Structure 1
């Protein structure tokens, strides 16, 4: 049994009604109750005028109300309408299934009318045009009511409430009641659902008030026999027509709809109580003639009101168009196709040209366009005259009254009526545009002919464009670079933290400048000066990045050369005093930090001055250069050899174990100098005196060590080939 139950549950899942109720917002419940209550009140009023059957009435206002509610609020009100229609069915008959069918019939009528109107994409529920009103009357009132007019009487026939012979008449009466209910109630509610706007005042308010008072009085006379004791008979129904026409022409849609309801209510109530013009109508023809009166009243009065409303709207639009044309900043001209004389010039053109309208009427376009002759202008407009082109567009210049010129863009068309032909010209002052175009052209020329490379990328840092200088510097052409990231030129010499700092600066300040190393297409690495800027829109969104850079290879070489010259002796290319001092301080700091001794050698050439005096400075300079070369060959790469000036040299020897190591180098230097120098055929001999100071034994600073080494060197001069230590 459990298996069978599980199989049953699997094949027959329980229906969860909450799933269907979930989309329905329960806030609609009180609204639907209000709709249902109003529907029942109107249904009760309609059933008051029931004819041969208690379920058939000549006027069914509930149907018009239901359609208006659906059009204004949507299908969420269908529950209230359906429940109200079913209860109204029970108010008409006491057979449950028949009452239900009557409710279904009325609900289907409202829904189908709503659906028909929704299929009309141009339908406006505000009923501001005749098209909207007639769409409502023909589709909703006439067609949709036929559905209910068949289902309802058919249910009455099946229940034997009516006979087969009575079915056609009952169906027709049903249809008539639903039609007039929609024709009166729905437009009234739709129109009044929107405020009439500015309330009338003054004479207009007095006129509308007078219309209502007179129409009410005439209605009382016609429908309620107010003056029957003073006149034989009573005025005909045509007596109310002037007031409907008057309201339609002068009072507007809202007042006309209200007046229609007032007169219809007077006529309907008078027929119900059996007085006035339609006193015998209910008995004689079932209010058929009254129905005709009601439809003429509903359709005729509102049609007049809508015609007037459409004409007023068109007139307002025309006035607005005229004011717009007159006030337009563009110049607008109309001129005769034959004489070319101006017939209309808008205010914007008059202000710009400084002419009056009277002056312009005596002028032609040739008076404003100095670049055209009559022949050239006729050639320009000839295709328009021959209907070969719908419009002529061209640029020229206009001349003001004071003789000043300004560039314009002209759009010219030919218009032809039966009795007139004229040209219509719309002209724009393009002074600002021309200036902007010139700036753009200038910027393009600067971009293209700049000697600096320029790269433009998008918000994702993908290359959009590069200039000619960029391609020359990098070796890439523009097509190779488009869509690529600028990192295509990266040299790999900068780490990730470097580029992180670059982009942080761009994000914070919008710009970064500095040096970096790039790589050309051929693989050559070169230094570049980079200036990166970010372009943002008004909302701060990044649009582009602009990179301007230059190859600074030559500049870096010059800087290196100047730096070398500043730190080296120009004659021997050895470090000079400044560079020697810098290296001395570095070595001293390192020695103190690591407790490592070093040696300072002070060297002075003997017999150099006599050679310099005897053979001249040029020979002396050549001798110094040869001495420097021999010294360089004798010292290590880690040693610092410096020319201090004249024939004095210094040597720094790092990491010496003892004074003996310095003495070994001193002996090597002596041996190097002992060999004769052959300078331009002269055999020259010199000797060398060397003084040695050891850190930290002979001093712990540069001054002390230098003084000790110099003193030792001078003592060495007294003992040839001797290196003196302390």
Structure 2
């Protein structure tokens, strides 16, 4: 590195020296050119001098000849005229542009012009005859031609006169006058020619001097600038060298070859080895290494351990070579820290071992996709070892899942620098195949050319099976295996789209089991699940393979029928389903009989999407269940209107609870023997802001079906308790107040606590409150019936069984301790005493009640005959319009005013009070 410094300086200085030589040569060349021009101008001046002298001498010689007739004077005249003629001929030849250079050169030479100036004169007269000073001079020269020719004529005339002796003084005088006139004309012009040539020579000399001076200055400045840049380059090169030397990541040292001592070291070497107290320069190179150097490095790389300034050892590699440094042999040593490289090599060995031990198979191929290496997992997964795979193509054993070869697009994507991953079908050694998740990447060189392909794969058979199970769970009901709601809706939308193209119909059947809750309550939820599975199996058997069954929740099922000619064609399948679902189901030792209600909605009449069809089929099912169970109904727009009305009613019921729109009416219950009022039944009314007063039959069923009945029951209970407290404070008689309880509120875990809290909040004695519960509510309570009745008995609350004899009666609950009353339903009272069947039923109920020690209340008494029959039959109390309509609290207070005698009420029904 350091040995290159002198060569680098000489390389920098060589252009500078060449530039200096070029500047000197340029200045010398310009100077030589100026000299040549000066020589040419000197030739012009010389020629001018000869020409001027020749014409002047010719005039003198001619005048002597004219006066004396001397032959030598004429000869001298002729000689001078030849000089003028030669110059004139050469001038005219050059001006013509077509001339013999040699002849012109000889003409000027014969006229006495300096030989070295002739070529320059010819060039200037040929190319610069119009130049300043040159043109006036040549014009003056041309202007004397005629006059000189006149002198020649005068000489001829004189020569002839002297020859024949006819010369006279007058002739001589005339000739001398003409000669004087010619001389007078030629003289100024010759002076002009001389002055112009002299001034031109001076001007050209000045221009040449300035030009040479300017060029010399410019060349010198350029050379100086070049020299400065070169010197800056030398300094920059020196600084870069020093910067590179000191900032190199490797330690660099210059060692005296003869003594082995360090002459110079860079910053990295000082940072690794030196300290402030022990400088590196002058130390022996061998002493820097642990246990010294075993051999002196001579080219190549030698590994050893370096003692660093922390007291530790650094693993290094040394490269050295001899260089000429300032005229002496010096060894340049480059010390490279290979600790990281060694660590990387160890990591590579670990990675190679890890690669061999990973569970995924790994294949490495060359650029032609031929296998060069595989790991151990490859043999475990495929059965092919490295020996069987060497040289085989990666894609030879693999196909796409559909059996097609791997497309070229995979390799095109890899060639484009992308990664490829996908599922393929791979072949094992035994010929079997398995699904494989394959990932391929390319390893490239510095020129981005593919060197190797690396493929990582794994057997995804189990993962696919698990994924399929998860996908099945995501789209199917886990209990029955039927499609869930989301999958059913997707398939329904697809069927609707196909029907739109084929102009066919699609039908959705909404199936709801009737009274399925009784199965759960009477047997168990596990038994109920088994029944649901059996129902699903029956539904599946009644539809074709192209149709679809689903369970969307609880005991609700849906069926999708596609490619129907008409919506009504679904009725055949629905009838078949009704008959099949009504057949007894045998579970263990039990025989369970169920029925179903089915609603049917079809595309395109009843909706254009799955959500609408299912909602409309649900509305049709609700109508079937409401009118008669075990029936089917086709959807009509009125059903949806009823459904919307129910939804609107829910919103209005919530508003009614919030705005206190409910009120209670109280209907007295009479002792049939004494005529005294023994109790009142709290009956709910709704003062609708638009429809006026509504009876419970108009909104209670909707509240029960949509989950609002509990809130309403709670309001009724607390309102009744509050009214009892008001009556007690007003000194009213202590009669019993009966409150109706729905099945949902009775079965709710918070019922008992809510009842106790209401009684505590309003300080109501338990004897003042009675609960009326229907047979259906008792049955829905299921296993909790006995516990709830015992708790009510402990609270001192009496229970009346309402609508007795109209439901699925189980006589066991009549023995429960809190049950004290049986209410005979109005359906048995209406035809008394004329209908023998009703008479027998009522008498049987009264006899059973007396046997069980229960008291009885008859509902719906409207005639005196009914009153007399029930009184004589032994019924304890009666309710009906014969005695009183349901009354507001204020009206009842007036009726039961303690100041009036509460004897028996009139048997004539009073007018209804508002």
Tell me the TM-score range normalised by the shorter chain. 0.3 to 0.5
With the length of structure 2 as denominator, give the TM-score of the two structures: 0.36
With the length of structure 1 as denominator, give the TM-score of the two structures: 0.45
Q: Which structure has the larger Rg over C-alpha atoms? A: 2
